[in-house]
């Protein structure tokens, strides 16, 4: 686990393995590199020619670019690492965006795997900048090594991040650092869960991890096993889990604050492995399906983060956990399930299972009359086709709430896009046998799934659905602070939403 310290030392005098500085492309119309604020002492050590040296080595200041140079006399760190920030601000009174700083810090931290200490001398004009740099560095330093043999050639993550330019004795900076540590530790735990092989992360194992975290952080945890689910009539969760030797679970995490005036419910899809069931996924589509519990991981991480930060809001997290497998006892196309709400569902495709477990969890969450509900799920390939691999879709039963969640996601640094719920698509889920089918029109499949979920949300409760199928699991190369594999998508959005609710900013 990477440590974070706020340092009052100057960039030239701090002892570290590497000194990280920022460089950028000149403002529109200009030529050459710009050395970003925070690196003045470093530039001085290069006799004001740091930009020239870096340009000679091919640096352009582009986002994600890393250039290393030996330090000259006058710097305690033996190596300077220049990381690209993209385009420099056009005007003197403009600053680099939080996301640009976050990505640059993450890029640098990834490049420094195996180092003991790095000093980050990136632009810090305000508390928000320091927090963004801390977040990016701590997320970028992430590595999942639990299943790798430890050897002399293995590089662990960067051990310590020393953040320069912050004010260690200032309460606001200290609070920002504490928030960054809590958030990134829990987001990285979510990444660990997503990356864990499904033979080890069964529904029962996930529930046990949640229970242990609850005890550690003062969160009440209730676990419904297969017997309790059957007694309670949770037909959706039981139906999806019927084909697996590892029975399903519904986990409730309840964080409360004595001064809280609002309650937020978070619901996460937790399919610990999705084979598709009887509607089996073809080869090439099932190898990464351990990530189908990313929504539950995000909800779990958000609730624990809220507890660690002591947010003045009540939060219930619902983890709908099951394994979708084919067997003689598995759910079949044509079966009809009676959901926890009492509504019946004709199952036309067993690979549209996420909406079934979420339906039960949404109904149960609605019974407690929260002020708002947000569900998170790797729900549809259709959303990936619509928005790509880095953007999640947001649907809601309330336009104002959808807009608020979208703005919060953007502020948190997560790419998202508001999507509609066209009423005309509902007819495609009409069933001659049951109240509703779990499939509808093929075109607009992500929106159809959202309309299905809407059926299980309590009357009058603002609800939003985040389809994170694209950004939840990165099959390409790492970039910025995003690793290959599980990303922890939506965690930052949920935590920022909880903070807004605690502050009374959402009504």
Summarize pLDDT for 293-352 with one digit per residue, the tens: 999 999 999 999 999 999 999 999 999 999 999 999 999 999 999 999 999 999 999 999
Q: Which entry of 76, 167, 174, 281 is annotated as an active-site residue? A: 281
Q: What is the pLDDT of residue 152?
A: 55
Nearest to 63 by CA among 91, 89, 100: 100
Residues with Cβ within 8 Å of 287's Cβ and at least 6 positions away in sequence, in order, are none
Q: Where are the beta strands (DSSP E) in 99-237?
A: 117-121, 160-164, 220-224
Q: What angle do CA 396, 286, 184 make, to 5 degrees?
A: 55
Q: What is the pLDDT of residue 32?
A: 86
Sign of CA dihedral 171, 177, 180, 181: negative
First-last CA distance in the chain: 38
- DSSP single-letter state for residue 432: S
The percent of residues above 70 in pLDDT, for the chain, comes to 99
Q: Which entry of 355, 364, 492, 500 is annotated as an active-site residue? A: 355
Tokens of 270: 């937790």
pLDDT(223) > 80 = yes
The percent of residues above 90 in pLDDT, for the chain, comes to 94
pLDDT digits (tens, 9 = 90+) for 250-299: 999 999 999 999 999 999 999 999 999 999 999 888 999 999 999 999 99
Mean pLDDT of the chain: 96
Tokens of 98: 């939080």
**Which whole-number Å values give the CA distances from 177 to 52, 117, 174, 316, 506, in the listed order?**
34, 17, 5, 26, 25
Examine the residue annotation and report whether 169 is marked as an active-site residue of this protein. no
Residue carrying the six token digits 């509607």:
279
pLDDT(151) > 70 = no
| Mean pLDDT value across residues 350-364 | 98
Nearest to 83 by CA among 122, 136, 118: 122
Examine the residue annotation and report whether 103 is marked as an active-site residue of this protein. no
């Amino acid at each position: 686990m990477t440590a974070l310290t706020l340092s009052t030392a100057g960039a030239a005098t701090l002892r570290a393995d590497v000194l990280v500085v920022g460089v950028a492309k000149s403002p529109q119309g200009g030529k050459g590199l710009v050395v970003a604020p925070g690196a003045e002492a470093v530039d001085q050590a290069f006799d004001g020619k740091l930009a020239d040296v870096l340009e000679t080595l091919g640096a352009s200041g582009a986002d994600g670019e890393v250039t290393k140079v030996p330090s000259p006399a006058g710097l305690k760190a033996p190596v300077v690492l220049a990381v690209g920030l993209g385009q420099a601000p056009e005007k003197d009174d403009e600053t680099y965006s939080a996301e640009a700083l976050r990505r640059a810090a993450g890029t640098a931290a990834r490049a420094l795997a195996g180092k003991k200490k790095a000093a980050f001398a990136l632009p810090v004009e305000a508390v928000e900048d320091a927090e963004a740099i801390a977040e990016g560095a701590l997320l970028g330093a992430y590595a999942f090594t639990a299943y790798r043999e430890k050897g002399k050639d293995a590089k662990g993550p960067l051990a310590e991040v020393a953040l320069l330019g912050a004010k260690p004795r200032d309460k606001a900076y200290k609070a920002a650092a504490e928030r960054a540590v809590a958030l990134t530790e829990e987001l990285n735990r979510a990444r660990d869960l997503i990356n864990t092989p499904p033979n080890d992360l069964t529904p029962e194992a996930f529930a046990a991890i949640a229970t242990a975290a609850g005890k550690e952080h003062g969160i009440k945890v209730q676990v419904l096993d297969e017997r309790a689910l059957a007694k309670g009539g949770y037909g959706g969760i039981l139906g999806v889990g019927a084909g697996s030797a590892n029975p399903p679970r519904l986990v409730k995490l309840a964080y409360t604050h004595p001064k809280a005036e609002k309650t937020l419910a978070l619901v996460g899809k937790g399919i610990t492995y999705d084979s598709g069931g009887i509607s089996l996924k073809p080869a090439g589509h099932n190898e990464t399906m351990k990530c189908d519990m990313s929504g539950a991981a995000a909800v779990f991480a958000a609730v624990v983060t809220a507890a660690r930060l002591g947010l003045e809001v009540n939060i219930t997290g619902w983890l709908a956990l099951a394994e979708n497998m084919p067997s003689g006892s598995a759910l079949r196309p044509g079966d009809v399930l009676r959901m926890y709400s009492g509504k019946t569902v004709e199952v036309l495709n067993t690979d549209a299972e996420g909406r079934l477990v979420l339906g039960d969890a949404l109904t149960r969450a609605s019974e407690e009359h929260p002020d708002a509900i947000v569900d998170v799920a790797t729900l549809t390939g259709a959303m990936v086709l619509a928005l790509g691999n880095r953007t999640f879709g947001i649907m809601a039963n309330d336009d104002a709430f959808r807009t608020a969640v979208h703005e919060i996601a953007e502020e948190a640094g997560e790419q998202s896009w508001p999507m509609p719920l066209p009423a005309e698509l509902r007819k495609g889920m009409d069933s001659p046998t049951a109240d509703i089918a779990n499939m509808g029109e093929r075109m607009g499949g992500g929106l159809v799934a959202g309309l299905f979920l809407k059926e299980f949300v309590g009357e009058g409760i603002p609800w939003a659905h985040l389809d994170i199928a694209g950004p939840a699991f990165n099959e390409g190369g790492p970039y910025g602070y995003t690793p290959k594999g599980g990303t922890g998508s939506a965690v930052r959005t949920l935590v920022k939403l909880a903070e807004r609710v605690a502050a009374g900013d959402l009504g």
